[in-house]
Structure 1
Amino acid sequence: MSDKKPDNIVYSEEQGYNASLLPYATSVGAPVIKADDVVAWKSRGIHSVNKEFENKFQELQSAYQKLMDDYKWNELVYNAKFAFEPVIGETYHMYLGDDGIEFLSLIAPNEWNKEFIGSFKLNSDKKWVVLETATE
């Protein structure tokens, strides 16, 4: 008789009978192997990741906008006219002078009738923190 094996037997010349080692079913009675539907998984993953990127982008955009606002206010205060050395932690008020130039003062907005721009406090990093603006 020949060395030919029947079709329902898994045999290879190099590995012999190796049905238990194969990653796929080798007989009619073996469990059905289904390919997973990865399209839906990918779609959910892409949606989730894109939402995360969008949220992170919004956070960065908001942080950038705040940084630019802080920069502009600091530039305005440092370019304002004042004839004293500001003390850290003290509140100062900025007004628009009659000559059109901004100036800092210790006088509160309710104590005189000048065009109020904003109130600021100098922190330990020499950065002016906005406490109140005329638009609020």
Structure 2
Amino acid sequence: MTTHNNKKKDPTSIDVDSIDLERMKTLVSDAPGKSEYAVERGGTSFAPTQEGAIKSRAFKVMDEQISMQMDNIMEQIQVLAKQAEDLKSRRILSEQIYSAKIKFEPLVGDIYYLYNSPQGRILSILSPSEFGEKKLEDNKYEFLAKARLLADCTWQILEGQL
């Protein structure tokens, strides 16, 4: 009878000495999302690309976006500049009207008429046709502007100019 000294392998036991741990380390990644290549079976493979081509495309997209945003900002600046100019004009006009003689309280939204007279500027509720051409000439009144009082107490010229 021969005795075999063959060890039967137990299917549940693992022979740690036979595992190449150094080789296994190269097959595993601590951060698979940062890997340049697929780290799992069936994982997405990445083809190497040229760094210059990637940078060139990114720069082109970035440049186009910045140009579009700059154009948009320039349009907004032009709109704001026009609004500032309009406000400046309304301020000058309002100062001129408020420096005139006003013998009543102007109401927001109503239309008034500015005249130049020998005594200075006068704001009136009467239009030139209501005032009468003859009376205007006799009193040496000159029609300057038709204006509306706005809600912010500035004036808007509807006719004429100052």
Q: TM-score with structure 2 length normalisation? A: 0.59
- Note the aligned Cα RMSD (angstroms): 2.9
Q: Which runs of 4+ in 1 moved over 6 A?
A: none
Structure 1 CA distance, aligned partners of 2:104 and 2:46?
Answer: 87
Question: Structure 1 residue 122 and structure 2 residue 137: aligned?
Answer: no
Give matches, 1:9-24, under 5 Å: 15-18=25-28, 21=32, 22-24=34-36
Deviation at 1:45, TM superposition (A): 1.0
Larger of the two Rg values belongs to structure: 2
Q: Which residue of 1 aligns with 2:123?
A: 104
Gaps of at least 5 residues in structure 2 are: 1-19, 39-44
Aligned length: 120
Q: Which residue of 2 aligns with 1:8?
A: none
Q: State the AA in 2 paired with 1:84.
A: F
Gaps of at least 5 residues in structure 1 are: 6-10
Structure 1 CA distance, aligned partners of 2:108 and 2:84?
Answer: 26
Contact 2:112 2:147 in 1 (8 A): yes
Give matches, 1:1-136, under 5 Å: 15-18=25-28, 21=32, 22-25=34-37, 30-34=45-49, 35=51, 36=54, 37-99=57-119, 101-110=120-129, 111-112=132-133, 113=136, 114-125=141-152, 127-135=153-161
Gap change, CA 1:88 and 1:45, over 3 Å in 2: closer
Structure 2 CA distance, aligned partners of 1:39 and 1:63?
Answer: 36
Contact 1:93 1:119 in 2 (8 A): yes
Gap change, CA 1:16 and 1:48, over 3 Å in 2: same
* Secondary structure, counterpart of 2:101 in structure 1: coil
Q: TM-score with structure 1 length normalisation? A: 0.69
Contact 1:97 1:103 in 2 (8 A): yes
Deviation at 1:115, TM superposition (A): 2.6
Question: Which of the pair is proportionally richer in helix?
Answer: 2
* Secondary structure, counterpart of 1:39 in structure 2: helix
